[in-house]
Amino acid sequence: MADFDTPELKEYPVIPHLQEGVMAHSKPFVAKEEFQEQLGFPGELVDNWEQVALDKMEELTGKYRGFRVFLDSCVKCGACTDKCHYYLGTTDPKNMPVARQDLLRKVYRRNFTFAGKYFPKLVGAVDLTKEVLDDWYSYFHQCSQCRRCSVYCPYGIDTAEISMAAREIMDSVGVGQKYCNEIIGKVYKIGNNLGLPQPALVDTLEGLEEEVEDDTGVKVRFPVDEKGADILVVTPSADFFAEPHVDGLIGYAKVFHEAGISWTLSSHASEAANFGMFIGSYENMRKVSLRIREAALDLGVKRIVMGECGHAWRVAYSFLNTLAGPFDFLDPNYPVPQHILEFTHDLIQRGALTLDKSANDDMVLTYHDSCNVARASRMGSKPGGQFTIPRDVIRASCNHFFDMPQDTIHEATYCCGGGGGLLTDDLMELRVKGALPRMEALKQVVEEHGVTHMAAICAICKSQFSKVLPYYGFTMDSIVSVHQLVSNAIVLGNKQ
Amino acid sequence: MPFLTIVYALLFYVATALLVGGLAYKIRQYAKTPAPLKIPTTPAPVTRSGVVLRMFRELAFFESLFKSNKWIWVFGYLFHFGMFLVLARHLRYFTDPVWTWVDLIQPFGLYAAFAMAAGLGGLWARRFLVDRVRYISALSDHLMLALLMAIALTGMAMDYLTHTDIVAVKAFFLGLMYFNWQPIPEDPVLLLHLALVATLMIIFPISKLLHAPGIFFSPTRNQVDNPREQRHLAPWAARLENK
């Protein structure tokens, strides 16, 4: 099936020489009319698309300070050029963050700056043509909005912001991406990305209850739509059936069981992920977010806890209060929302959970910091809690843990290669190549410390790694959920 | 009044007006554009004073660049802080009597010119030698370095090769400031140096030199990480709620 070569894992990472145009063919399927229209976008490329696109660009420079400042500020110093996993994996120069931004910046300059209007050749400004639009479609769908470049930019320019704006401009002229836009439509119609309706959800959760009871002899509940529960749990819908996600969900249920706190899922807000962010659409992101507010009000809960999901946690932590707040109807003693890891970590700190680390002795673990958790959110009260809290929970659940090299973890972490709305089979080549830097780091700890498994806290990371690990000679089940480790280690019934 | 004096006097009035007016326009534009979402690159400070400290480290040490690439950091730092000292040293042409601290830094300012030129040279070399940087360099990126280098070299030439009548230069600039014009020394190196400086002032607000005000408005660096504690809402986003 694969009509491309998987990059070779080198002994140590090398910054590759560029090869122009090698990824120009990579582009995701275009959204059909019906999926465009349910999001409020034109069904196909509109007639005067050049003008519509420029109007949209101007509107966005007026609405987003970041977008405007980033377009003006870049000095082309080159600091970001070797920081993107897609550049390192593909060697296509348009995957260097600055070059990706320039695809849009050169049109901005041509139309909205003095230098670009009167001296276009001098500053590399160009008109918006069909070729430029095609380039946008290709390369703004080769950015996973992971923000690694923004860490290293001396002005904090975040390519994710440019990518999101570019996708919104493309949506506004009728050229949307099938994967993202179809999924957002499903959330509006059914409540989650997978299109899993309420009866199927109830069924699945009943199945999990039986499975856990068979396994442990303890009746651990998986409640859905239970009014009056204390906590609403919103988790990525992949947690309901995908591996290893579902093992994480079982972990959350066991933790709530042990804590003796009532909780519920919601069929209305049965999705933590918010693809509205990927397409840069404030309105769609808000509409998806409001479902969480509606569910919380409807069920009368006191707290909201989010499951393991990367971009979802960014939207929840950084944007939920803005998009769907204020949450003054919830218990003010807890942050809104809370991450399941904050919840579990807190219980461990208080000694409220009994964990038998030896239950995970068949694994030697490392941990993949998910990009949007690492660089676009926080856990706990201190900066950097997003790095220490997951590791504390892992260390409390297992005996053998080793970190990957320093320049590939924490704020320097690499994207899994499938984030930002790129986790689709029509982008398989990009996904495999984009995983290269993470695979190199993994290989190093496998060789040095005998690491057998990598834990993650993001539905996209987990799905992406299950798929691409085999390309690099690892087994697909060497990716695990953090709460799967908790689930294995937790001793049930101990605290009652 | 000599013709050249009139030309240069007018040139500097125009350049100053464009620099100040252009920057004021852009700063106002940045300040008035809302940042609707909290997007600090994390880990980020959780307090306002923490943000001030982060910004200070960014400006004083180029913290992010240091994390990124030591070569760009060394060259960029040499250039910027060399230029900073050189500019400070030039204050003696605009103050009478000269401020004490400006007097004290005079010898350092001299060496700083070498640092500035060396930094520029290093940055320029990267545009030719590193394939990634070569790929992203437009003609204007080269010209900007050429302009700055020419300013540095003509300035240094007046210290080490042909001495210019700096007393008269000072009289000229003080004359401009107090609208009591004095003749400019008709030394070709000086005239070239000043013409290049005026060019730089004019293109500042319409070029990538906007990174200087831009960094203060960069939401990934200047936002406090407190979205759960405080609701952050832009005016245009608030209007969506009333629909």
d(CA B94, CA A458): 59
Do B46 and A151 count as a contact with CB atoms less than 8 A apart?
Answer: no
Q: Give backbone dihedrals phi and psi of B11, rounded to 5 degrees, phi first.
A: -55, -45
- Give me the pLDDT at residue A494, please: 62
Asked if the C-beta of A68 comes within 8 angstroms of chain B's C-beta atoms, the answer is yes
d(CA A82, CA A436): 13
d(CA A419, CA B11): 53
Domain A33-176 belongs in CATH node 1.10.1060: yes
Q: Give backbone dihedrals phi and psi of A224, rounded to 5 degrees, phi first.
A: -135, 140
Do A322 and B143 count as a contact with CB atoms less than 8 A apart?
Answer: no
Do A375 and B42 count as a contact with CB atoms less than 8 A apart?
Answer: yes
Out of B45, B76, B232, closest to residue A322 by CB: B232
- Give me the pLDDT at residue A1, please: 44
Do A151 and B64 count as a contact with CB atoms less than 8 A apart?
Answer: yes
In sign, the C-alpha dihedral spanning A372, A378, A384, A390 is negative
Cβ neighbours of B58 in A, within 8 Å: 154, 156
- pLDDT of A99-112, one tens digit each? 999 999 999 999 99
Substitution target from A77, A119, A313 for chain B, most B beta carbons within 10 A: A77
Residues 17-46 of chain A whose Cβ lies under 8 A from any Cβ of chain B: 17-18
- pLDDT of B114-140, one tens digit each? 999 999 999 999 999 999 999 999 999
Residue of B nearest to A17 (CA): B131
Q: Quick one: how many helices (H) and strands (E) in chain A? A: 23, 7
Residue A394, min C-alpha distance to chain B (Å): 21
Overall average pLDDT of the A328-332 stretch: 97
Do B36 and A76 count as a contact with CB atoms less than 8 A apart?
Answer: no
Q: Any idea which of A312-326, B76-90, B97-111 has the lowest mean pLDDT?
A: B97-111
- Give me the pLDDT at residue B109, please: 82
State the DSSP code for A319. I
Contact assessment for residue A178 and residue A28, using Cβ atoms and an 8 Å cutoff: yes
- Give me the pLDDT at residue A361, please: 98
Cβ neighbours of A370 in B, within 8 Å: none
Categorize the per-residue pLDDT at B143 as very low, low, confident or very high, splitting at 50, 70 and 90.
very high
Do B208 and A99 count as a contact with CB atoms less than 8 A apart?
Answer: no
The domain locations on chain A are 33-176, 185-402+451-489
Contact assessment for residue A50 and residue A170, using Cβ atoms and an 8 Å cutoff: no
Residue A210 neighbours by CB under 8 Å, 6+ apart: none
- Give me the pLDDT at residue B185, please: 96
Residue B85 neighbours by CB under 8 Å, 6+ apart: B105, B108, B109, B112, B115
Do A319 and B42 count as a contact with CB atoms less than 8 A apart?
Answer: no
Cβ neighbours of A113 in B, within 8 Å: 206
d(CA A427, CA A163): 17
Has residue B242 got a pLDDT over 90?
no
Half-sphere exposure of B18 (CA within 13 A, CB side): 16
ipTM of this predicted structure: 0.96
Residue among B22, B23, B16 nearest B212 (CA): B23
- Give me the pLDDT at residue A109, please: 98
* Residue in this structure with the two tokens 């819908």, named with its chain if needed: A237
Asked if the C-beta of A181 comes within 8 angstroms of chain B's C-beta atoms, the answer is no
Overall average pLDDT of the A125-153 stretch: 98
Out of A65, A70, A119, closest to residue B34 by CB: A65
d(CA B63, CA B220): 14
Has residue A269 got a pLDDT over 80?
yes
Out of A81, A147, A381, closest to residue B132 by CB: A81
Out of A65, A119, A151, closest to residue B33 by CB: A65
Out of A114, A283, A383, closest to residue B42 by CB: A383
Cβ neighbours of B36 in A, within 8 Å: 63-64, 282, 322
Do B36 and A99 count as a contact with CB atoms less than 8 A apart?
Answer: no
Give the other-Cβ count within 10 Å of A395's Cβ.
16
- Give me the pLDDT at residue B108, please: 87
Cβ neighbours of B131 in A, within 8 Å: 17-18
Cβ neighbours of B68 in A, within 8 Å: 79-80, 83, 152-154
pTM for the model: 0.96
Cβ neighbours of A122 in B, within 8 Å: 138-140, 143
d(CA A129, CA A146): 28
Contact assessment for residue B194 and residue B7, using Cβ atoms and an 8 Å cutoff: no
- Give me the pLDDT at residue A10, please: 86
Residue A331, min C-alpha distance to chain B (Å): 13
Contact assessment for residue A142 and residue A430, using Cβ atoms and an 8 Å cutoff: yes
Q: Which helix (H) or strand (E) holds A418?
A: none
**Full 3-state SS string of chain B:** CCHHHHHHHHHHHHHHHHHHHHHHHHHHHHHHCCCCCCCCCCCCCCCHHHHHHHHHHHHHHCHHHHHHCHHHHHHHHHHHHHHHHHHHHHHHHCCCCCCHHHHHCHHHHHHHHHHHHHHHHHHHHHHHHCHHHHHHCCHHHHHHHHHHHHHHHHHHHHHHCCCCCHHHHHHHHHHHHCCCCCCCCCCHHHHHHHHHHHHHHHHHHHCHHHHHHHHHHCHHHHCCCCCCCCCCCCHHHHHHHCC
Cβ neighbours of B29 in A, within 8 Å: 68
Cβ neighbours of A103 in B, within 8 Å: none
DSSP β-bridge partners for residue A264: A232
- pLDDT of B43-100, one tens digit each? 999 999 999 999 999 999 999 999 999 999 999 999 999 999 999 999 999 999 999 9
- Give me the pLDDT at residue A413, please: 98
Residue of B nearest to A80 (CA): B68
Residue of A nearest to B217 (CA): A69
Residue of B nearest to A314 (CA): B39
Cβ neighbours of A98 in B, within 8 Å: 136
Categorize the per-residue pLDDT at A496 as very low, low, confident or very high, splitting at 50, 70 and 90.
very low
Asked if the C-beta of A64 comes within 8 angstroms of chain B's C-beta atoms, the answer is yes
Preceding peptide of A244 cis, ω within 30°: yes
d(CA A318, CA A371): 14
- pLDDT of A222-255, one tens digit each? 999 999 999 999 999 999 989 999 999 999 999 9
Do B29 and A68 count as a contact with CB atoms less than 8 A apart?
Answer: yes
Residue B100, min C-alpha distance to chain A (Å): 33
* Amino acid residing at B166: I
Out of B38, B65, B214, closest to residue A322 by CB: B38
- pLDDT of A169-218, one tens digit each? 999 999 999 999 999 999 999 988 988 999 999 999 999 999 999 999 99
Residue A200, min C-alpha distance to chain B (Å): 33
Overall average pLDDT of the A10-31 stretch: 93
Contact assessment for residue B187 and residue B193, using Cβ atoms and an 8 Å cutoff: no
Residue A401, min C-alpha distance to chain B (Å): 23
Asked if the C-beta of A150 comes within 8 angstroms of chain B's C-beta atoms, the answer is yes
- pLDDT of B7-57, one tens digit each? 999 999 999 999 999 999 999 999 999 999 999 999 999 999 999 999 999
Residue B136, min C-alpha distance to chain A (Å): 6
Residue among A266, A346, A341 nearest A301 (CA): A266
Asked if the C-beta of A4 comes within 8 angstroms of chain B's C-beta atoms, the answer is no
The pLDDT mean for chain A works out to 96
Cβ neighbours of A121 in B, within 8 Å: 139
Categorize the per-residue pLDDT at B172 as very low, low, confident or very high, splitting at 50, 70 and 90.
very high
Residue A305, min C-alpha distance to chain B (Å): 13
Q: ∠ at Cα A334 (A147, A410), nearest 5°?
A: 25
Contact assessment for residue A155 and residue A73, using Cβ atoms and an 8 Å cutoff: yes
Has residue A136 got a pLDDT over 60?
yes
- Give me the pLDDT at residue A11, please: 81
Contact assessment for residue A383 and residue B44, using Cβ atoms and an 8 Å cutoff: yes
Q: Which helix (H) or strand (E) holds A404?
A: none
Contact assessment for residue A106 and residue A135, using Cβ atoms and an 8 Å cutoff: no
Residue B20, min C-alpha distance to chain A (Å): 17
Overall average pLDDT of the A297-318 stretch: 98
Do B217 and A78 count as a contact with CB atoms less than 8 A apart?
Answer: no
Do B30 and A321 count as a contact with CB atoms less than 8 A apart?
Answer: no
Q: How many CB pairs under 8 A join A and B?
A: 212
Asked if the C-beta of A82 comes within 8 angstroms of chain B's C-beta atoms, the answer is yes
Has residue B222 got a pLDDT over 50?
yes
Residue B120, min C-alpha distance to chain A (Å): 12
Out of A72, A337, A386, closest to residue B210 by CB: A72
Out of B72, B130, B231, closest to residue A321 by CB: B231
